[in-house]
Amino acid sequence: MAIIEPRVNRRTALVGAAAFAANLAMPAVLRASGKVVRVGALLPLTGDLSPWGLPGKLGSELWAERVNKKGGIDLHGEKYTVELVAFDSEYIAEKTLEGARSFLEQDVKCTMIIGGDDWSALQDFSNRNKMLTASLYVSDLNPSSNYLLAPVELHPFYLAIGLEYLVKQDPNLKTIALCAQDDLTGRSSLAYWRAGFDAYGLEMVSDEYFDNSTTDFSTVVSTMLSKKPQAICLDTMYPPVLIQVCQELHQRGYKGRLLHAGWDLFPDILKRTSKEFVEGAIGYFPRFDDPEIDKVTTGFEDASGFYKEYMQRHPNSWNNTSWEYAAILEVWKRGVEAAGTFDTEPLLTSMKANPPSHIFGPAKWWGKDLFGIDNALVGNWPVVEVKDGQQTIVGLASQSEWFDQHRDIVEKRWREEELMPDQRR
């Protein structure tokens, strides 16, 4: 895979994932008959962010098929077949709203988006029409996001639990360098990393943002290495940038620890560096062929079987969104069956009173202190360490417990970046 060197921002975050071939495109609607409930994938299926959108659609289709094979969704003894409706938002505001209107006409009961720019376009429409929506970006939550949920991934709140694991494993670790792109994703995650480094007394010998237009990372890497850090935090760098920075670090002989949120395109990073370079790297997204996967995904039935079936159908297309959107739908299904309704208001009331499990087990609604609304479903999250070239699950830890123990430090660091609810426009 050739290295892509565009202007990198959220709109171009995954252009480097060239393995997604045109044959991934599938019918926009998974048809059903009889009693039907529709769920919607309002995702970029073409364009720069299609490597996030397409796998999300494919995983959601597989989830729906597996649910339907078991009889569908049970509502007061009546069985409803799940029908997935997909719309290509292209991650463009006008297209997002067009898709939302289409979903409203089709009586879609749960809409899934990437988050960020698309939610900014959608929030007023969602509130007017009580459109239940799920985002991958917990930072989309705000006091007015009445019908938005973050029911699976709560980036960046899992970052510190990996750091806690690392300092226990490597008590001699004292210095760290960190950098990130200068946008909301980078600022919110670096603020949380900094809180973690503060909590464990690590010295941040280099702490820099780089512009989203950066294509040559030699200066960024030189600055970090000049401080001789024992570990380097690569934050939530977008995948094309992550590949380039890892290559640069490898070529310059860096041998310390690495931290990154997702390690997207990890096989490509491994090919371009070495097993020794990535050994001991910390991340947060497990392989679904990890022998421990079914033990940790207690809120998602047969995760390993889901992975095998997905890979048989769509080789070389798996990434984190392949399971995250399916996990969102599983949370929604559990909520619906407990509430006995698909209707948004009573469903939300029931889900808030009786929080469903998320993919990694028991969870609670959370977020008001930082986002002004308790619409994030928070629980345990896995810590992943690279061992012998494989991303390996090494444990689960509570995101909310860590936050509660270090609330003052987190709020201080978030306030520095003007991320607290009273600082937002």
Residue 316's Cβ-side half-sphere holds a number of Cα atoms within 13 Å equal to: 10
Single-letter code of the amino acid located at 137: Y
Distance CA 367, CA 269 (A): 34
Average pLDDT over residues 231-255: 94
* 354 inside domain: yes
- With tokens 């960024």, the residue in question is 220
- Where does the pLDDT of residue 191 fall: very low under 50, low under 70, confident under 90, or very high at 90 and above? very high
Average pLDDT over residues 253-268: 92
Distance CA 99, CA 179 (A): 36
Considering the domain architecture, whether residues 183 and 285 belong to the same structural domain is answered as yes
The confidence score (pLDDT) of residue 16 equals: 43
Residue 385, C-beta contacts closer than 8 angstroms, at least 6 positions apart: 165, 280, 281, 282, 283, 391, 392, 394
Decide if 417 contacts 186 (C-beta within 8 A).
no
Considering the domain architecture, whether residues 145 and 168 belong to the same structural domain is answered as no
pLDDT tens for 132-190 read 999 998 888 999 999 999 999 998 999 999 999 999 999 999 999 999 999 888 898 89
Question: What residue numbers bound the domain in which 352 lies?
Answer: 10-155+292-379
Decide if 327 contacts 359 (C-beta within 8 A).
yes
Considering the domain architecture, whether residues 363 and 390 belong to the same structural domain is answered as no
Considering the domain architecture, whether residues 25 and 139 belong to the same structural domain is answered as yes
The confidence score (pLDDT) of residue 24 equals: 43
Considering the domain architecture, whether residues 222 and 247 belong to the same structural domain is answered as yes
Considering the domain architecture, whether residues 165 and 81 belong to the same structural domain is answered as no
The confidence score (pLDDT) of residue 131 equals: 98
Q: Coil, strand, or helix at residue 203?
A: strand
Say which DSSP state 174 is in: -
Distance CA 329, CA 247 (A): 37
Considering the domain architecture, whether residues 313 and 342 belong to the same structural domain is answered as yes
Considering the domain architecture, whether residues 345 and 397 belong to the same structural domain is answered as no
Single-letter code of the amino acid located at 95: K
Lowest pLDDT segment from 13-17, 106-110, 130-134, 200-204: 13-17
* 138 inside domain: yes
Distance CA 370, CA 420 (A): 6
Residue 177, C-beta contacts closer than 8 angstroms, at least 6 positions apart: 204, 205, 206, 207, 224, 225, 227, 229, 231, 232, 233
The confidence score (pLDDT) of residue 425 equals: 55
Mean pLDDT of the chain: 90
What is the H or E stretch that residue 304 is in? helix 303-313
* 4 inside domain: no
Considering the domain architecture, whether residues 37 and 148 belong to the same structural domain is answered as yes
Decide if 265 contacts 327 (C-beta within 8 A).
no
* 5 inside domain: no
* 2 inside domain: no
- With tokens 């709020």, the residue in question is 411
* 3 inside domain: no
Considering the domain architecture, whether residues 264 and 405 belong to the same structural domain is answered as yes
For 226, the token pair is 């000049």
Considering the domain architecture, whether residues 276 and 390 belong to the same structural domain is answered as yes
What is the H or E stretch that residue 351 is in? helix 344-353
Residue 127 maps to which CATH number? Answer: 3.40.50.2300
Count how many domains the chain has.
Answer: 2
* 296 inside domain: yes
Q: Coil, strand, or helix at residue 318?
A: coil
Considering the domain architecture, whether residues 240 and 312 belong to the same structural domain is answered as no
DSSP-derived secondary structure for 237-254: --HHHHHHHHHHHHHTT-
Could you tell me the pTM of the whole model?
A: 0.88
The confidence score (pLDDT) of residue 315 equals: 92
